[in-house]
Structure 1
Amino acid sequence: MAEIAAPEQAIFPTEGTAVEAIGWSARVLPADEAGLKAYEAFCEGACWAPPQSPLWAKAWLYDADENGVIALLFRDGAPAMALALEVVRKGFVRVARFAGGSHANGNFPALHPSAGPERGDPSAVRSLLQGVRAARPDIDMLALERQMESLGNHPNPLLTLPHTQSPNLALAADLTGGFDRLLSRSSKDRRRKKYRSQLRKFEAAGGYRRFEASSAAEVDNLLDLFFRFKGERLKRMGVADTFASPHVRESFRRLFRAALDTQPSPFALHALEVGGKIRAITGSSRSGDRIICEFGAFAEDELTKVAPGDFLSYQNIAEACAEGVALYDFGVGDEPYKRAWCDIEIRHADVFVGLTRRGRALAMTSFAKTAAKRMVKQNPTLARIARRARQVLGRG
């Protein structure tokens, strides 16, 4: 990875609040046009998880201004680490979190390995926190949730901060060795038999095609359908629709439209069309030799029993294997259809740091709530009761 060696002032705007420490300097900017350009420049040569990529930051922090924060950390003037955060209200408390909120999973900061802070060195992250506190004294707490412990060979420097295990684990499939090897670990003959049966039924229904959105019009159409499929299913389950807000929907539109101009595309929409109708949709991101399925949904119609969502996953994973991808990550959430493919459990970490008195109280509460959620989710009986209660309350 190329290192940016020029002094920070030559690349990044001088506006914003800077905090100096021995070897470290932090610059904190609003997420306006200049701040987002600074973040994009900072990320040249860095590694990051998809939810901290420049494309994601621009999509989610568009028009955020003071409701967004770009925090840049330098080591002896060279870019070291950066965060793109959104600021939200929780009652009387302001919280800064990864841009995208609950839609940002498997998080990892933008990091320059050649200059980035070591995991065991808290002084770097402390300088970054001091910069945020000085620039934005109105922010009470940082809630940096669902973080990966490492990215490639690089440990996550943010985990020098107080953290705990996230309530939800993520599931992934090891693709090394190819598709046949993957199938052999999960009832190869039964899965191929099911796939052939699906093929016959889809051909009888008018034929099928799998395709990737390649224009803004296709992006909009697939997202419109996804939001409808997902919303209808969640409503029937009595679960709140996290994709319902206009901000979330527009952010995903900006993201997948912008990704069309980048090759290979870091974010992609795939669809399964059967008999001239879209029956299943997935949205994915790519990070190095890893593909992450960010979301998926399917139409509930006469072909639902044929499992179009499972068929689309089969083809997505087969394509990933053909491309030499090492890991197919189904993201956060433990579901039977994921278990059918996956042999890897990924534990994420949640960081809660209070920056004010109110923030410290909220951080303590957040740690307690996270521990309670984790206990419930790890106990099948409690998880079943909680799921049923959520459905009853949702219908009410």
Structure 2
Amino acid sequence: MAPSRLVPRIVVDASEATTLWNAFAGELLAGAAQTAHWFSCWQSSANSDCLVAALLMDGAPVLLLPLEVERRGSLRIACYVGGPHANCNFPALLPTLSITQDDLNGLFQALHRARPDIDIVTLSRQLPELAGAANPLMQLQHRTNPNISLAIRLDGSFETVLNRHNSKRKMKKHRHVVRRYDDAGGFKIVTAASAAESRNMLDDYFAWKSDRLARAGITNTYEPKGVKEFFHHLFADETNAASPRFQLRALEVKGKYRAVLGKSHAKGMTFIDFVGIADDELVSTSPGEFLFYKDIEESCGADLAIYSFGIGDEPYKRSWSEIETPTYDNDISLTAKGRLFSLYLGARGSVVRRIKQNEKVWAMVKTARAKLRGQS
């Protein structure tokens, strides 16, 4: 067998990793959470034990896999940097260059040599393709994630988008809510244009989200040390960028934020990473849905083909979307302990997927969770 033309390399230094991202010889394609800015912000704020598993050709990168290492009991697990906050994942790569299964196997063998303490690499919530390019990791054994991604084709016209999705009902509701906001003192849609605006939007979002998760009995993934700081850095640093990859937008009514959404951008696509709403006197107007309406309308005038609601299946997403994309997980075991944990992950994923596919059972699970773990 001829030797691979791609050489693996494991990088732990943040500045060296950034240099690799900047050294792509052609057009870079990557998920938003697989970019240099996301990597450096997370490594400096939330988890210093991060690395990049890279494939190089003639010293230039063709694939970058940014990973963080977490400890769970006696296990050390490598996953996409950002953990549960990294969604619609897609490795940074040159889409014009072929990467084989042997190349990938060599990359994980190199990772095991460099970090023999890592038991397993778990790569979750991955897109099978991005901007027409296939995810090379799908060549490895993989399973379907319980969560899907829902999206809209923008087609350059908001009227066209509306006509595909119950336009009369949406426009009637929109006019009604506009009247409510006008009566309340007027509204505007605000895009964070400074670090101060970014911090204020995020602080409100974190407070709203904490309250809602507590009432639903769901673990708050923003509470671990450094996570909120990470998001503050991530979005504040982008407010001065000519073409920001990460962006915050808010619905403001009578001088107060009533809904906040966080967005990220990849080639020809925009992704909604999170949304939160204030539980106040205007909550009955569905401020989050109103903000989506205005954001989709504006996105139709941008150079975008796809508007993705990201991971998760919710009625408000279904009311807009016509594209349903499954996401996938890879488990690459590096030790015997990792192989045992991989079996557990596969079995757990199968159970969760069956539960979420049954609307009645999933509704019962959410209700029981709120009663048992939630706060009144």
Distance 2:33 2:45 in 1: 18
Aligned residue number for residue 38 of structure 1: 19
Aligned twin of 2:218: 239
* Mapped contact 2:193–2:239 kept (Cα < 8 A): yes
Cα shift at 1:387: 1.3
162, 172, 183: which one pairs with 2:141?
Answer: 162
The 1:94/1:149 distance shift into structure 2, 3 A limit, reads: same
1:353 counterpart = 2:332:
yes
Give 1:66 deviation, angstroms.
Answer: 5.9
- In structure 1, distance between residues paired with 2:95 and 2:121: 23
Give, as a single letter, the amino acid of the residue that structure 1 aligns with 2:97: A
Cα pair 2:217 2:369 within 8 Å, conserved = yes
Question: Is 1:189–2:171 an aligned residue pair?
Answer: no
- Gaps in structure 2 of 5+ consecutive residues: none
Partner-residue secondary structure (3-state), 2:206: helix
Say whether residues 1:393 and 2:372 are aligned partners: yes
- The offset of 1:35, in angstroms, is 3.5
- AA aligned opposite 2:22: A
- Residues 305-339 of structure 1 show CA distances to partners (whole Å, capped at 9, x for unaligned) of 11111111100000001114211100111111111
> How many residues end up aligned between the 2 structures?
373
Q: Which of 26, 33, 49 lines up with 2:31 in the alignment?
A: 49
Shift of 1:38: 3.2
Q: Deviations over 1:168-200 (max 9, x none)?
A: 111111111511111112221111111111111
Runs of 4+ in 1 over 2 A off after TM superposition: 32-45, 63-66, 75-78, 113-116
- Code of the residue aligned with 2:57 in structure 1: it is R
* 1:337 counterpart residue number: 316
Match of 1:91 in 2: 73
Do the aligned partners of residues 64 and 336 (structure 1) sit closer, same or farther apart at CA in structure 2, a change above 3 Å counting? closer
The answer to whether the aligner puts 1:102 opposite 2:84 as a matched pair is yes
Shift of residue 149 of structure 1?
0.6
In 2, distance between residues paired with 1:75 and 1:277?
A: 52
Q: Is the 8 A contact 2:88 2:127 kept in 1?
A: yes
- For 1:179-328, what aligned pairs fall within 5 Å after superposition? 179-328=158-307
Q: CA deviation at 1:59?
A: 1.3
Distance in 1, Cα, partners of 2:153 & 2:6: 38
Within the alignment, does 1:123 sit opposite 2:102 as a pair? yes
Q: What TM-score do you get using the length of structure 1 for normalisation? A: 0.90
> Which one scores higher on RCO, CA 8 angstroms, separation ≥ 6?
2
Shift of 1:382: 2.0
- For the structure 1 residues 63 and 194, does the alpha-carbon distance in structure 2 shift closer, same or farther, using more than 3 Å as the test? closer
**CA offset digits 1:237-260 (Å, max 9, x no partner):** 222222222321111111101212
Deviation at 1:43, TM superposition (A): 4.6
Letter in 2 for 1:47: L
Counterpart check, 1:22 vs 2:4: yes
Q: Deviations over 1:58-108 (max 9, x none)?
A: 111226786111111013443210111110012110000000011111111
Distance 1:65 1:226, change over 3 A: closer
Match of 1:305, as an amino acid? Answer: S
2:349 to 370, 382, 385: 370
Shift of 1:276: 1.1
Paired residue type of 2:220:
D
Mapped to 2, the partners of 1:314 and 1:362 lie a distance apart of 43
Please state whether the residue corresponding to 1:167 is helix, strand or coil.
strand
Is 2:46 the counterpart of 1:67? no
Measure the CA separation in 1 of the matches of 2:223 and 2:91: 27
Contact 1:55 1:259 (C-alpha < 8 Å) held by counterparts: no
Q: Taking structure 1 as reference, are residues 34 and 276 closer, same or farther at Cα in structure 2, changes over 3 Å only?
A: closer
Q: Output the amino acid matched with 1:151.
A: L
Cα RMSD for the two superposed structures: 1.7
- The one-letter code sitting in structure 1 at the alignment partner of 2:95 is P
Identity %: 37
- TM-aligned CA deviation for residue 147 of structure 1: 0.6
Which amino acid counterpart does residue 62 of structure 2 have in structure 1?
A
User: Which of residues 131, 141, 148 in structure 1 aligns to 2:120?
Assistant: 141
